[in-house]
Structure 1
Amino acid sequence: MAELDTSGGGKKGGGKVRTKKKSTRVDLTAMVDLAFLLITFFILTTTLQKPKAMDLVMPDKDEKKPDAQLNVKETTTMTVLLGSNNKIAWFRGIPGKTPPVIESIGNLRKSLTDNAKAVKAETGEDMMVIIKPSEHSNYNNLVTAMDELNITKNTKRAIVDLLPIELQLLKDSGIYQ
């Protein structure tokens, strides 16, 4: 049992006979029990933050199997190049044929929606989005781009390395610094 003991006074000098002080005892058992009950209650009732993760399925890189490569029509593709300073460059089709559109990562949702509607109207197929992060882009921009694809319900997507011509497009656009 936990207790607080304050001892009484002993004999001090002097000729008077005094009665010994009785010690004061405070029983702390109930307070300790209450503390453990409160700790247990709050541990059991608090919700822990659930980990936030995005499922990303990537195919194996196997150049030995050419039939495993995905053939996509250039008319149904939109390529998003992630540059520095939260800037992106995107274009449809083959790089170099059409000039890239340079904009902020915040405008990606509108671009995805508009291009998906245009591709659906032109070809009748869903749009394939190819995301190509550069060495100067940050991880947050890649996550933002993937989130925007989820929001716009685009299921055909890929994360691919930059081609030299696309790297040159980023440098010419001034968003590769």
Structure 2
Amino acid sequence: MAEIQIKEQSNGKKTQNKKPIRVDMTPMVDLGFLLITFFMFTTNFSKPNAINFSNPPENTGKPTEIDYRNQITFILGKEGKVFYYQADKKDLNDNSLKLISFDKAQISKTIEAAKANAPKKDIFTVIIKPTDDAEYKSVVDMLDEMTITRSERYGMSELNDKEKELYEKKIQ
């Protein structure tokens, strides 16, 4: 540990020897490693965040048709652009495909408004269609919106020819 040496002079006065004080740091290092080990073993590490996907039950009968008023379709494009429409496939045109952004919870408000106007709210479905040039972040953000809006019925699909054509017109 630390030492201070005192020596007597010939005239009877005691003086301190001005040697530097040496402090042994070995016990402090041991204590530091013990504390680090203790906190590592007692800390709860964060659990990985994962999106829960569930596969729909296998349908042995004919495909289920969803009325366009009970669904909304989002097309995820390049540079984070998001388009949506709520129309029948045969009525799909330039005016029905609308641009929206992730800013200020616009997607949540759009989903909630479409769900409020749906005739059968219990089977309201959100269809997500990412394009080939969509960003991964946009897809993850859209899946997060499904959790935020508590949308239990949603699915991902590919764009059909009409949707691709309209999307190409809108991004130019």
TM-score, normalised via structure 2 length = 0.72
After alignment, is 87-96 or 28-37 more displaced?
Answer: 28-37
Deviation at 1:134, TM superposition (A): 0.6
What's the secondary structure of 1:155's corresponding residue?
coil
Number of positions where the alignment pairs a residue of Structure 1 with one of Structure 2: 145
- Post-superposition Cα deviations, 1:36-92, rounded to whole Å, max 9, x if no partner, equal 3112122123332221111012348x8xx6527433223311111111111111111
What's the secondary structure of 2:91's corresponding residue?
coil
Q: Which residue of 2 aligns with 1:115?
A: 114
Which residue of 102, 119, 127 corresponds with 2:99?
Answer: 102
Q: C-alpha root-mean-square deviation of aligned residues, in Å?
A: 2.6
After alignment, is 133-142 or 123-132 more displaced?
Answer: 123-132
Q: Which residue of 1 aligns with 2:81?
A: 87
Provide the C-alpha distance between the structure 2 equivalents of 1:111 and 1:44, rounded to a whole number of angstroms.
46
What's the secondary structure of 1:131's corresponding residue?
strand
Deviation at 1:95, TM superposition (A): 3.5
Query: Judging changes above 3 Å, is the alpha-carbon distance between structure 1 residues 118 and 138 closer, same or farther for their aligned structure 2 residues?
Result: same
Q: Contact (CA 8 Å) 1:76, 1:93: kept in 2 or not? A: no
Mark the runs of 5 or more structure 2 residues left unpaired by the alignment: 1-22
The letter for the 2-side match of 1:156 is R
What's the secondary structure of 1:56's corresponding residue?
coil
Deviation at 1:27, TM superposition (A): 7.1
After alignment, is 133-142 or 35-44 more displaced?
Answer: 35-44
Deviation at 1:105, TM superposition (A): 2.8
After alignment, is 79-88 or 35-44 more displaced?
Answer: 35-44
The letter for the 2-side match of 1:110 is K
Give 4+ residue runs of structure 1 displaced > 4 Å after superposition: 26-29
Q: Which residue of 2 aligns with 1:171?
A: 168
Task: Give % identity.
Answer: 28
Q: Which residue of 1 aligns with 2:48?
A: 51
The letter for the 2-side match of 1:42 is F
TM-score, normalised via structure 1 length = 0.70
Q: Which residue of 2 aligns with 1:140?
A: 137
Q: Which residue of 2 aligns with 1:76?
A: 70
Provide the C-alpha distance between the structure 1 equivalents of 2:89 and 2:142, rounded to a whole number of angstroms.
19
Provide the C-alpha distance between the structure 2 equivalents of 1:141 and 1:67, rounded to a whole number of angstroms.
34
Q: Contact (CA 8 Å) 1:80, 1:131: kept in 2 or not? A: yes
Q: Contact (CA 8 Å) 1:96, 1:165: kept in 2 or not? A: no
What's the secondary structure of 1:47's corresponding residue?
coil
Provide the C-alpha distance between the structure 1 equivalents of 2:70 and 2:25, rounded to a whole number of angstroms.
75
Provide the C-alpha distance between the structure 1 equivalents of 2:88 and 2:25, rounded to a whole number of angstroms.
78
